[in-house]
Structure formats: structure tokens, C-alpha cells
Amino acid sequence: MTAFLNTASPDRRVVEGLRLVTLFREATGVDPVMWGRTMVGFGSYKYVSPSPPHHRGEWPKVGFSPRKAKLTFYGLKDLPEASPLLPQLGKFTEGAGCIYANKLEDLDLEVLRKLIRIAWSRSDEPAGE
């Protein structure tokens, strides 16, 4: 995982990635694991997609990727408890399941920590099982 972070570009992504590992580790209490080639994940949960054919899988509870264009955060907006905090996070954009930030300094790290803890509280079992 450290080898991956050390190859991030531009150089500020290396520093941001290492800061994020520390923040996520403190908020979750677990060590990071690489999910694929570009995602640093913490923990995991089983999911069942809500629409047919109801795919099943496993995904990190929370994670991030220090992509060249933007920092990408996974799992932080999936639970309803996160919604009230999102406007306080800072400058970011949203995708279907992700949050994107141009740089870490655009975000309120205490709000980010709270969002990580909310996402971390997710059940390990698929809904309805």
C-alpha cells in the first residue's frame, strides 16, 4: 500500500495519501488494504444490489484513492446519517457513490473523520439477510 501511495502523482498526492491513511486508520482502528490497483480500503462489507439481478459482492466500508485529477472517497455518503454532515465537509463534488476533492486542504478533516466513523458503523451483512 505504501509503495502504491509513493507512486501517486502529482507529488502532493503522496503526502495527502499518507495523511489520509493516518486519518482513516485512527477513525476505523484497522490497517488499510489495497482493493485492486488504486483503492486504499478499510474493512469490508457484503452487499446485494437493490435491483435485479441482485448482484452480490464485497466492498470496503470506507476507502480512498489519490487520483491525479482528484482525491476520490468511497463509502462516505452511503448511509442516511451522513447527509446532514456533507454540506459541512468543504469544497467537493459528488458522483453516484463517491466524493471528489481537488485537494485535502479543501476539506474539513474533523467532518471527514465523522463521515468515516458513520460509514464504519455499517453492518457487515447485506440488508434483508
pLDDT in tens, 20-40: 999 999 999 999 999 999 999
* pLDDT score of 127 more than 60: no
Q: Which three cell numbers stand for residue 128?
A: 434483508
| pTM of structure | 0.90
Percent of the chain residues topping a pLDDT of 90: 75
Kindly list the structural domains of the chain, giving each domain's residue range(s) and its CATH number in brackets, ordered by start: 2-120 (3.90.1150)
Confidence of residue 72 (pLDDT cuts 50, 70, 90): very high
* pLDDT score of 100 more than 80: yes
Q: Cell 501517486 sits at which residue?
A: 8
Other beta carbons within 10 angstroms of residue 88's beta carbon come to: 13
> Could you tell me which residues come within 8 angstroms of residue 56 by beta carbon, excluding any fewer than 6 positions away?
46, 47, 48, 49, 126
